[in-house]
Structures are given as C-alpha cells and as structure tokens.
Amino acid sequence: MSDSDHDRDNDGGPEAYYNDTHRAFLQAFLSRGSMTFREAQPILAAIFTIDEKQEEGDKAKGTEPADVTQEDFESYVSALSTMTSPLDIEIRSITHQVSKERIYALVNTTSDPVTQLATLHNAEEIAFIRRVIDAMFDKYNTPRMEVMCLDGMQANKLRSAPRNEDEDVPPQEEDGNGAATQTIGGLKGLRSSEVENVMHSMVEEGWFERSREGFYSLTARALLELRQWLVDGYNDPDLNPNEWQRIKFCEACREIVTVGQRCAERDCCVRLHDGCGDGFWRSRKERKCPRCSRDWDGKHFVGERAVTETEAYMRGRRRSGKGRSSRGDVGRSSLAGQAIEYGEEEEEV
C-alpha cells in the first residue's frame, strides 16, 4: 500500500503531509525508542486499517502487515524526522552488528548522552551506569583484548565509585548480602541486588543487551545515541590515524565496531563487522589488511569472542561443564568474568 493513500494534503510545509497516522506512529516510536522495518510493519498496518475504516467505514478491507512496504516505512520515518528536528530529536539508523537488521532510533542531539539514556534512574544508578560504560570501553578494552563488554561479576564490582587513595577512607555500610558499600562524593553506591536490577532494567529499556554467554554490551540504539560521546571520551585526538584507539570504526560501513574482527597486528586499528567482511573482501585481490598489509586470517576478534574463542575460556568450560547462565549472575563468580580477568593478568605479565 502506498503512503500516498494516507497523505492527502501534499501542498505547503511539512505539516501539510503530517497527519494523525504520523502522530500515532510517532507515539509507537516514542514508547519503544528503536524499531526495525519488520517491527514497524504490524504497527503501520494497524494504523492504516484504522485510518481506512474512518474514511470508508465497515467496507474497508484493512491492511495486512505484509502489505506495508519499505517505502511506506521510510516515508513515515522521513516525515517524523522532519517534524521532530526542531525539538533536537533525530531518527538515525544503524545495522545491528549480529542480527544484521537495520535499526532506526530516536536520538536526542543536545542533552548529555549518558544522562539521556538513564533518565528513568536515580543519581546513584546513573553514576553506576557511567562506571559500567567506562569499564566496557576502558578497562575491558585494551590492545590485547578488545572485549567492550562485561558480565554480572564485573558489573557488581562497580557498585561503588573508586576511592581516591589520597582521601580518608569513607564510612562503609553493609548491603543486604553482607558486602560493604562506600559513600563517595555524596553517593552511597548500590547494593548487589540493586546492581542486578539496574542491569536488568537497562536491558529491558533497550540500552544494554545480554548475550547467551552472560556478557552485557551496548545495543545498536545506545551506539547511535553515544557515538560522538564515545569518540570524544575515549579516543585521543592527538594520535595519528594509524595509532591504536579505543573506539574504532568498520573499514567498510564506518560504524563503530564492538563486535567483529580485527587485524592480527595488535597496534593496527583496522576492524570489520562480520556482516561487512564478505563484500569488503570481494572488492580486493587478496585478504590483507588495507593499512599494514598483514594477512587477514579472520581469527582475531572484537567483542565477547575476544574472550570466548580463547583456549583458556574453552578449557574452563570443559572443566566446569557450565551451561548457559540466567539473569541472576550478578555478584557471583562466572566463567565469563574469570576469562576476562585471565586476559588482563596475562597482559600484565
């Protein structure tokens, strides 16, 4: 079904083609924060059906989700972008690094990004979320292991802000599990149970995603929202383009890489999303890094596979017989966490 069937006044400014069907779609978008074309099809079909029945009454046939085209969807996204732009809100899109689906998200272009993605949380929780993101892109993101994710055990260790060694030891309280929490900078920190609740809520709200192996990472929507903030916060603008940086972009699509493949040369910054690799190499005569000319073997990874593809991790799984873990892993030692810690210790040797 063509979008022109629902937009009948095409003269004049943007308001001329923005009607109640667009407003209904915007409400659906706002309630979700992000959306794929596949997710939008039944929503738009329901909106189109209601609009048809208002125009034609009971004789209206209605619209099936399969009848909603990519053109319909993109037309509505374009109209929403035009109308929300004066409010400093944009609709941006990115390809999910694992599912390969194109994801469209509402992005606030003016407010502090981390505060924006944590608006439903209190000050202690926002401070904790900042520490989690910092751990993802700093502590667990080194030239040797670009993990850029963490598990529940690492998250629980971040429940209180680190204390400045030059300061007096702040007063401590015990949480419900007998673990001490510190009051730092006027913030008490979180209890272990609260850490679990915050991590779960960040998944439910679409900012973090949790893998089957128990690793938490930023969603595609969060990468859209935080793109410039991550670059400004973790990359050194004074380094030359060939020096290692914490935030790196796919050589093919130019989006941030937190899941994919890396050059075998530790200090080289060339990265590729798994889904971008085939098209990228088809246009080249040989599989060599375009910057350092090192052979590209596809066996060096970014993301949780930087840990899970190691012999140490696989050996640990065989010894423990550990299966997939559930949500309730915060505060308990896990194989995923041990593997990250192992990588850090090996790097220090």
**Quick check: 333 pLDDT over 70?**
no
Joined tokens for residue 267: 């200090």
User: What gap in Å lies between CA 316 and CA 272, rounded to an integer?
Assistant: 28
Which is higher by pLDDT, 13 or 47? 47
As a whole number, mean pLDDT of residues 10-39 equals 82
Q: Average pLDDT in the 11-36 region?
A: 81
- 5-9, 306-310, 335-339: range with lowest mean pLDDT: 5-9
What does the pLDDT look like over 46-65, one tens digit per residue? 999 999 988 888 777 889 99
Q: What are 248-281's pLDDT values in tens digits?
A: 999 999 999 999 999 999 889 999 999 999 899 9
- Mean pLDDT value of segment 178-201: 75
Say what the pLDDT of residue 4 is.
Answer: 44
| Percent share of the chain, pLDDT over 70 | 78
41-50, 146-155, 301-310, 333-342: range with lowest mean pLDDT? 333-342
User: Which domains, ranges and CATH numbers included, belong to the chain?
Assistant: 3-87 (no CATH), 117-348 (1.10.10.10)
pLDDT in the model for residue 304:
93
Is the pLDDT reported for residue 245 higher than 70? yes
> pLDDT tens digits, residue range 107-158?
887 767 776 676 778 889 999 999 999 999 999 999 999 999 999 999 999 9
Number of CB atoms found within 10 A of residue 69's CB? 15
Summarised one tens digit per residue, pLDDT across range 66-113 is 999 999 999 999 999 999 888 888 899 999 998 889 999 988 877 677
Count each helix (H run) and each strand (E run) in the chain, helices first: 12, 11
Give the residue-averaged pLDDT of 8-21. Answer: 61
Q: Judge whether 158 and 202 are in contact, CB under 8 Å.
A: no
Who contacts 278 (Cβ-Cβ below 8 Å, separation ≥6)? none
* Exposure b/e, 19-30, CB count within 10 A at least 16 = b: eebbebbbebbe
What is the model's pLDDT at position 191? 93
Q: According to the model, what pLDDT value does residue 89 have? A: 85
Average pLDDT over residues 288-295: 94
State the pairing for strand pair 34-36/102-108: antiparallel
187 φ/ψ angles, rounded to the nearest 5 degrees: -110, 135
Banded pLDDT at 33 (limits 50, 70, 90): confident
pLDDT for residue 339: 60
Is the predicted pLDDT of residue 3 greater than 80, yes or no?
A: no
Q: Read off the tokens for 206.
A: 């679409």
pTM of the model: 0.78
The mean-pLDDT minimum among 129-133, 242-246, 292-296 falls in 242-246
Within 8 A by CB and 6+ apart from 166, the residues are none
